[in-house]
Amino acid sequence: MNRRTTGAILLLALVALAGCNAPIDDAGRPDPLFDRIGWEDGHWHDDPVSVTTEDGLNQSEREAVTARAMARLEHIRGKEFRRSVSVAVVSREEYRERYGGSVGGGGPDRFTDQVSEALLLVGENESTAADRGQALDASVQGFYSSRTGEVVLVSDSPTPTVDRVTLVHELVHALQDQRLSLGGRTETSDARRAQLGVVEGEANYLQSQYAERCGADWSCIERPPRQGSGGGSDPDFNVGLFLTIYAPYAVGPEFVETVRDRGGWRAVDALYRDFPTSTEQVIHPETYPGESPETVTVADRSSADWERYDRTPDGDTAGEVAIYAMLWANGAINVQGPAVYEYDHRFSAGWAGDRVVPYRNGDRDGYVWATRWDTDDDAREFERAYRAILSSRASERRGSDTYVLPESDPFGDAFRVTRDGRGVRIVNGPTVGSLARIGGEA
């Protein structure tokens, strides 16, 4: 008997022995000798679990529910988790104290504030970081930390509970982190939102695939009742900025589904090696990967008084999502209900590229925002919508292109709006006289 044959016999014997002594689950199946897709930490994807949800889940119950959810995601996605994922549950008060909206956020940033101001989303005396943190504090249900490999769920109940939907969503991020990618650094806000359209889009897509099997194919734990007033009141956070944050979750799933329909899960895997480069591609999947954004440049007008920020790159790209959010938040787009979250309107859909370049002069700020559109008609429609916003708020007009908003307005500055074919250019400064020094002569 040769060495290879002896090894094979020993392996078969080990498998048989393991099968005899392996734990048996509620369905009468032994645990596999080696980890496999559809099984995690003692639970097959279609196993029942014995838990009581009324009083929340204790640690052993949470571990069982987590392991089964991981096995189910493996079964749907066809990818194996490489390691276990721990799950912590915190109250919303504890979340605010420990994280304070800092997840995915950051500290005050005057450059970023100028970009948000250019989009008429964050006023001159407000902070993008603070508004973003407030929106997250009010809306976040959980997050995955790539640094610790842990999922943190936020519970609004006095008795900490586990929301199945949020758990599944964040476990997808753990699987992405272990097997694919959570995206990387990008030069522009629009490119980052496009990356998140894949990352958050797949998480929401798999979350819905999971939910469709609950009841029909799988027994699932009940979702805890949502806490709060039940809606009807105005949100106490910046809804326009929230629209830019929420976009990857809203339009990403359809983008991922479209790519999967084209080429299966292998095509989805390829997205993590070749992320979309603009939110236009995520909103309109037919533009991926062929239609990349145009490069838009802004001539440097730095002088002894007005100068650009000493950073690379010296500007940012807002993108179609942010332009849509701006127009909606300022009343130029009249869309209500679920249609708001489609991010598709003729005033923003012709976007081809843009560049926002902030300037500063001591404690005074300004910017040049150059946009490029697919056609002259697309540019004209955006120009009309943007001018309508300024006209409704202006206290003074200087000729046909210059608007002055009153000091009482959150964006109380001077604006100059011009169009040349497919390009629309907006220059902002504290006074009409500063516009030429920031953006040059019209």
153 close to 87: Cβ distance less than 8 angstroms: yes
Predicted confidence at residue 17, as pLDDT, reads 36
Q: Which one-letter amino acid corresponds to residue 183?
A: G
The predicted pLDDT at position 27 comes to: 55
Strand partners, 142: 153
Token digits for 399?
């000729």
pLDDT recorded at residue 310: 93
The whole-model pTM stands at 0.89
Q: Residue 50: its pLDDT value, please?
A: 84
Q: Which residue has the tokens 């959810």?
A: 69
Query: pLDDT tens string for the chain (442 positions)?
Result: 554 444 444 333 333 334 444 455 555 577 787 778 999 999 999 998 888 777 778 888 999 999 999 999 999 999 999 999 999 999 888 888 888 655 555 556 999 999 999 999 999 999 999 999 888 887 889 999 999 999 999 988 777 778 899 999 999 999 999 999 999 999 999 999 999 999 999 999 999 999 999 988 999 988 777 654 444 456 788 999 999 999 999 999 999 999 999 999 999 999 999 999 999 999 999 999 999 999 999 999 999 999 999 999 999 999 999 999 999 999 999 999 999 999 999 999 999 999 999 999 999 999 999 999 999 999 999 999 999 999 999 999 999 999 999 999 999 999 999 999 999 999 999 999 999 999 987 6
Specify the residue for token string 């504890």.
94
| Helix/strand/coil for 88 | strand
Structure token digits, residue 179: 């097997």
For the four alpha carbons of 239, 241, 247 and 248, in that order, the dihedral sign comes to negative
**Phi-psi category of residue 440: left, alpha or beta, with phi > 0 → left and psi -120 to 50 → alpha:** left
Give pLDDT, residue 313.
93
Q: Can you tell me the distance from the alpha carbon of 430 to that of 407, in angstroms, rounded to the nearest whole number?
A: 10
The C-alpha atoms of residue 438 and residue 97 are separated, in whole angstroms, by 42
| CA 139 – CA 132 distance, rounded (Å) | 11
**183: nearest Cα among 260, 173, 165:** 173
Q: Which two tokens stand for residue 138?
A: 């009010």
